[in-house]
């Protein structure tokens, strides 16, 4: 082994993989060492480097490799591949690797994972691929996965795990503790015990911290919380994430249409949802969709093309407005120099307002109850900023071109465009949201069109009236 890879050995006696991961994984020298092992076909060395790591770190490592290298790594690890790694992979890489694996291998991973992670592995596969894998899964696990797959995509039913702890209210603390100690199928992570009635409807919950502090003889109905936040299995996962954030939940029961308990969602799953929603909004505002770094050149080009094409059409529209004033521009060449400043300032001001509005709509801080006040605030902010920059840019233009009237024109255009930018930056996402459309997807196109057209029209129109009138 080269000198650069000798430092990758974990410290002697280290027992905490997380601590090892923080210090040793995913440095350039580490990735190079793994690649060298793959190229040499040294499975023992590759397993030595990778096996001690956390599943999330291994998933990140796989994401850094090329497609052929990923497959070679998975083949080389074989049965040493932690099933949790598959559930940690980005969707694109997951969908690339799963068809490469034998159905029996994926089936073993499904049986080792919680039901929500198992559903994540299968949900985007074709029906025949799902069935080929589920044929190798036990009847109980297969039934749980098939039931979850019947719920709509991005719903709480897809997100929930069926493994949970339930108890009737007349049980004592001691009986519940004895039950949990004897059970073999406890969920890997849980924070609360859900109390159910004879029809399996949740009637309360007991946090583990309270359970462990209570005497064994205390009935559960004396220490349970009856204030439950129930999540319907058909609820959108974004709505479920809002409830977790709003009510500071660490777990919540999921119920079917009849109110029966069918699963639970824990905060670690919600963190993933919140991250996905934030990424989705950011990507949508930039017009790149659900793009991933693992996507191919052709896939990335195709996804970006449509958005760029729409922007091309709006740019042509703005150029047509400029064309109406071609004679004015020929008379006063300085207008061509200053014109982009007006449009750019309007676009930037509108984007600031738009970003705040889209985020506020997503977090429900912006609602019908306070919409009028926020629209007024953003419009006033746009107008005030317009006045400040009008003074600055008007003075610069007057001195630059020795033409005070030109400074007045650009100053007035700056005020109008920033005022319009602030107003439309909030009204556009509000209108799209009211129409049931995602404001993060279409708002930027409309905003750019408005600020460009208004900026060019006002500036060139005022120049024609004031300077050539």
Domains along the sequence of the chain with CATH? 3-159 (1.25.60.10), 166-284 (3.10.580.10), 297-466 (1.10.357.20)
Q: What is the pLDDT along the chain (469 residues), one digit of tens a residue?
A: 433 333 344 434 333 444 444 445 588 889 999 999 999 999 899 999 998 889 999 999 998 999 899 999 998 988 888 889 999 998 889 988 988 888 888 998 898 888 888 898 999 888 888 998 999 898 888 888 988 899 998 999 999 999 899 999 999 999 999 999 998 878 888 999 999 999 999 999 999 999 999 999 999 999 999 999 999 999 999 999 999 999 999 999 999 999 999 999 999 889 988 888 877 777 776 666 666 766 778 877 887 787 788 888 888 988 898 988 988 888 888 999 999 999 999 999 999 999 899 888 888 889 889 999 999 999 999 999 999 999 999 999 999 999 999 999 999 999 999 999 999 999 999 998 888 888 877 788 888 889 999 999 999 999 999 888 6
CA 212 to chain CA mean position, Å: 36
Contact 285, 307 (CB under 8 A): no
pLDDT at res. 469: 64
Return d(Cα 195, Cα 261) in angstroms, integer. 10
Long-range CB contacts (within 8 A, 24+) of 278-283: 280/440, 281/358, 281/359, 281/362, 281/440
Q: Find, among 450, 449, 467, the residue nearest to 412 by Cα.
A: 467
Token pair for 160? 């929930």
Beta strands 251-255; 261-266: pairing state: antiparallel
pLDDT at res. 201: 97
φ/ψ of residue 231, rounded to 5: -115, 115
Element at 381 (helix H, strand E)? helix 371-400
DSSP classification of residue 81: S
Token pair for 319? 């150029």
φ/ψ of residue 349, rounded to 5: -65, -40
Long-range CB contacts (within 8 A, 24+) of 6-14: 8/33, 8/49, 10/52
Write the CA distances from 167 to 193, 233, 264, integer angstroms.
Answer: 7, 21, 14
Residue 232: strand pairing partners: 255
Return d(Cα 142, Cα 160) in angstroms, integer. 15
């Amino acid at each position: 082994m080269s000198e650069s890879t000798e430092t990758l050995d974990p410290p002697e006696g280290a027992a905490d993989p997380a601590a090892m991961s923080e210090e040793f994984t995913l440095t350039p020298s580490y990735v190079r060492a793994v690649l060298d092992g793959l190229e040499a076909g040294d499975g023992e060395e590759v397993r030595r480097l990778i096996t001690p790591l956390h599943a999330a770190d291994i998933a990140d490592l796989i994401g850094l490799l090329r497609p052929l290298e990923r497959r070679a790594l998975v083949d080389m690890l074989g049965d040493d591949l932690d099933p949790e790694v598959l559930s940690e992979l980005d969707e694109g890489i997951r969908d690339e690797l799963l068809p490469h694996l034998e159905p029996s291998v994926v089936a073993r991973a499904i049986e080792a994972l919680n039901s929500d992670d198992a559903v994540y592995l299968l949900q985007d596969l074709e029906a025949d691929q799902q069935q080929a894998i589920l044929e190798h899964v036990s009847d109980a696990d297969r039934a749980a996965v098939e039931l979850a797959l019947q719920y709509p995509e991005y719903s709480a039913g897809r997100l929930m795990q069926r493994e949970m702890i339930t108890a009737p209210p007349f049980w004592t603390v001691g009986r519940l503790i004895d039950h949990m100690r004897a059970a073999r199928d406890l969920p890997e992570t849980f924070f609360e015990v859900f109390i159910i009635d004879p029809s399996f409807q949740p009637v309360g919950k007991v946090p583990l911290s309270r359970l462990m502090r209570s005497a064994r003889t205390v009935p559960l109905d004396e220490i349970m919380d009856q204030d439950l936040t129930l999540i319907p299995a058909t609820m959108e996962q974004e709505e479920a994430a809002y409830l977790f954030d709003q009510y500071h939940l660490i777990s919540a029961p999921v119920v079917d249409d009849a109110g029966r308990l069918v699963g639970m969602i824990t905060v670690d799953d919600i963190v993933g949802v919140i991250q996905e929603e934030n990424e989705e909004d950011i990507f949508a505002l930039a017009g790149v969709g659900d793009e991933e770094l693992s996507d191919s050149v052709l896939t990335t080009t195709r996804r970006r093309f449509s958005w760029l094409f729409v922007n091309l059409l709006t740019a042509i529209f703005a150029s047509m407005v400029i064309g109406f004033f071609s004679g004015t521009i020929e008379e006063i060449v300085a207008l061509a120099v200053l014109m982009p400043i007006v449009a750019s300032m309007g676009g930037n001001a509108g984007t600031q307002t738009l970003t705040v509005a889209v985020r506020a709509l997503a977090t429900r801080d912006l609602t019908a109850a306070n919409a009028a006040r926020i629209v007024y605030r953003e419009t006033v902010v746009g107008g005030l900023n317009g006045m400040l920059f009008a003074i600055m840019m008007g003075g610069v233009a007057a001195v630059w071109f020795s033409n005070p009237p030109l400074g007045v024109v650009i100053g007035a255009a700056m005020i109008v465009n920033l005022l319009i930018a602030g107003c439309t930056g909030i009204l556009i996402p509000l209108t799209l949201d009211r129409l049931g459309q995602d404001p993060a997807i279409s708002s930027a196109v409309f905003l750019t069109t408005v600020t460009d057209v208004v900026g060019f029209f006002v500036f060139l129109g005022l120049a024609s009236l004031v300077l050539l009138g």
